[in-house]
Every structure is written in C-alpha cells, then in structure tokens.
Amino acid sequence: MKKWLASAICAGMLVTAGPALAGEKVITMSTTTSTEASGLLAYLLPEFTAESGISVRVMAKGTGAALRDGMDGNADLVFVHDLAREEQFVAQGHGTKRYHVMYNDFIIVGPAADPAGIKDAADPATAMRRIAATRSPFVSRGDDSGTHAREKQLWRASGLKLTPADAPRDGEGWYLSIGQGMGAALIVAQEKNGYLLADRGTYLHYKFGRSEPYELEIIYEGGDLLRNPYGVIPVNPAKHPHVKFELADTLARWLVSPEGQQAIGAYQLHGKPLFFPDAK
C-alpha cells in the first residue's frame, strides 16, 4: 500500500512524453493531475509527437498551480479543468484562447455500504449534507485543483456553515484535507474507508487499471453540478515572449482536430471510456 501511495504522489511530479533530445522541438505543458494519473497523456502524446515531431514535457499538478505556471511563464500551455478560472486566465491576457477539448464527470466514491446514505440523495449538495450530518470520513484534496474547486462549490451549495476556505466548519475528526493529487486522495479515502469527490477518469484507472485492489465504489453520480469540462490554453507570448507559442498552439489545435478528438474518444480502460471529446 505504501508503495502505491508513493507512486500516486509521484504522479503530481514532472513526467516527459516523448524523447527530449538535443535540438528537438520541445514544449512544456502544465496540466491537472487527472490527465496524467488517468493514463490519458501517456496514450495521446506519443501519437502527437509521432505526427508533429514536437515532444511534450509535462508538469502534472493541481489546476490552480498549473494556471500559475502559465501566469508566471513557466509553461508554454496549460491543460486544466476549472472553466471559471480558465476564462479569467484568458480575460486577464495570460492565455490566447481556450480550446474546448473534452469532458468527463465528477463522482462521489465511498464504501459500498454507504454509511451516510447518499446513494439516493436528490442532488450532490444533499449528498454532502448527509456526509457531514453522519460525520462520515471525507477526504479533500485541499490542493487548489479543479476537483478541489468543485468540492468547495458543492459545500457552498449544501448550506452548511463553512470556514473561510469553504470547508465544513464542524469538520474536526471526519473532514481530512491532504493537499495532494487525485491518486493520493483515492488511496487515503480507501485507507480511511471514507468518501471522496473524484473525477471519473482517474477513479476508473485506479479501480480497473492497477494490480493493487481498490475497493471504494461509485456511490453518487449524475447532474450538471458534476459535469467536468477540460480546456487547453496556449500561454500568451505578449506577456512572456520566451514561450514557444507556435509549437504550443500546434498541440492545442491537434487536441481539437478530428485526429485528436478521435484519439481522446478511443481511450478506454477495460472497455470503459474515461473522457468524451468536446471540441466546439
């Protein structure tokens, strides 16, 4: 189990898709952990590199940190999933354009016995209220990621009294904020036999794509509040002249091209699609 946890934490670190040889065209993409931990990038990027000759250096972290990389000029493009912050990123001139790429959805996973009784909740906010009312263990990524932002939105919708950080005020003893990525959060939730807001893609990867057992089940799903769109944004060279805009824009356009969209739609794990193409 500890070896698995270490692997999950490493998923938030630097990885490279394609060989980065001297003189080769290389760009840096800062992205949410779910695109990497789900296995999607390992599937997509070699195909892009083979077609374009451009290698992609990937920094996987929470959406908030990925967007800050773009703001600071530490990446050539960002690939994230927090629509409001993405639109703000472009409006403030940090990015040139947001390309709609794909979507999946958020789910609430937990013990099959469902001790908080959320399976038949009318909506996600009601499910969160029931978790709080029963003081069932709940694991929060607590990392300023897109998933964490959606979790805070659900807590606000629940009507509960919250801290200034949009966490349950009465969370001592059951609300666990770990400051880690999706993979680590899934493992902690299993260890605590608790609930967790997860993206479906990473959950399926951990449930069916690894040899280690993962026992938590999808307990609650569905509804607009749990829809999870992803966008890719090249960093604006007007703010950071050193960024490799043309190469980054080539990747962005490939992701929304018929070839890229087909590749996203074809990515499955044990016959289950993890993401759905959504280019507009």
Task: Using pLDDT thresholds of 50, 70 and 90, give the confidence band for residue 11.
Answer: very low
Q: Which CATH superfamily is domain 105-226 in?
A: Periplasmic binding protein-like II (3.40.190.10)
104-116 tens-digit pLDDT: 999 999 999 999 9
CA distances from 209 to 45, 212, 216, 248, 269 (A): 19, 9, 14, 30, 7
pTM value is 0.79
- Among the listed residues 36, 90, 67, the one whose alpha carbon sits nearest the alpha carbon of residue 149: 67
What are the pLDDT digits (tens) for 233-279?
999 999 999 999 999 999 999 999 999 999 999 998 878 888 999 99
Domain with CATH 3.40.190.10 in the chain: 2-103+229-277, 105-226
Top-tier CATH class for 2-103+229-277: alpha beta
Query: Is residue 153 within 8 Å of 145, Cβ to Cβ?
Result: no
Residue for token pair 């040889």: 21
Backbone angles phi, psi at 83, to 5 degrees: -55, -45
**Which of 185, 247, 233, 240 lies closest to 66 in space, CA to CA?**
233
Sorting pLDDT into bands at 50, 70 and 90, what band is 5? very low
